[in-house]
Amino acid sequence: MSTTLRTNVAQAFWCSLENSGARFERATFPRARDSAGTQIAWFDQLLDGGIKLPDSPGKPLVLLITGTPGSGKTILAIELC
């Protein structure tokens, strides 16, 4: 059985450009709560509840974050830390 690490990364927003300027809306996902009824962060929803930690004591967990320049890799890494 593995342990799940909740990241609780900050809320994401969608941005749409209109004639009057930019409009921001909270990014929503179909499931806002986990099976216990606890509210879950948007990033944890994408990971199906959080980062799954292996049950291997003493072994480091390595996450590779990739993407194009400006896609938010550094911000994500800072939020995870």
Domain ranges of the chain: 3-80
Question: What is the pLDDT, as a whole number, of residue 34?
Answer: 65
- Which run of H or of E encompasses 53? strand 51-53
**Statement: the pTM of the whole predicted model exceeds 0.75:** no
Torsion of CA 52, 40, 26, 80, to 10 degrees: -40
CA–CA dist 21, 80 (Å, integer): 32
Question: What is the pLDDT, as a whole number, of residue 1?
Answer: 60
Question: What is the pLDDT, as a whole number, of residue 31?
Answer: 56
Q: From the first residue on, what is the mean pLDDT of each consecutive set of 10 residues in the chain (81 residues)?
A: 76 79 75 68 78 79 88 85 79
Question: Three-class SS of residue 77?
Answer: helix
CA–CA dist 75, 53 (Å, integer): 22
